[in-house]
Amino acid sequence: MSNIKIECPAYFEPTKEEISWLGSLPDAAHEVQTRLYCELELGHSGRHCSLGQSQDVGTEQTCWWVWWSDGTGRAIEECDPCPAAGSDGLEEDLLCLLPVGHVGKHRF
Ligand SMILES: [Zn+2]
Ligand SMILES: [Zn+2]
């Protein structure tokens, strides 16, 4: 296992409306980036995806993922986290950071 992540280079730039919508969610955890990079592995199949926003309410976390593919627009969807667990060699019991149903390798 290597610490060098080889990831898909795809990205998109959300519109002002998308940024303000993601930024206006209650208990939004992040500043919305003006450029969102795909978080899947290089050469994956299917749609690209990137975390647009997460909401932390107590111990509950709601994650909004943006899915897109070349030329067919995009969708912002609330997704449960991928249930896979693993280890990076330093810490145990890491959970995959990607949404359930993602393609490619898990990411910890
Ligand atoms: Zn991608
Ligand atoms: Zn996973």
Q: How far is CA 104 from its chain centroid?
A: 13
Q: What is the pTM of this model?
A: 0.84
Ligand nearest, relative to CA of residue 9? 1
Quickly list DSSP for 18-50: HHHHHHTSTTB-SPPPSSEE--SBTT--S-EEE
Distance, CA of 98 to CA of 79 (rounded, Å): 9
What's the gap in Å between 108 CA and the centre of ligand 2?
8
- Ligand of minimum distance to the alpha carbon of 47: 1
pLDDT above 70 (res 96)? yes
The DSSP 8-state label assigned to residue 106 in this structure reads: -
- Residue 2: the pLDDT is 45
| Mean pLDDT calculated for residue range 61-88 | 89
Q: Kindly identify the ligand whose nearest atom is closest to the C-alpha of 104.
A: 2
pLDDT, average across residues 4-14: 85
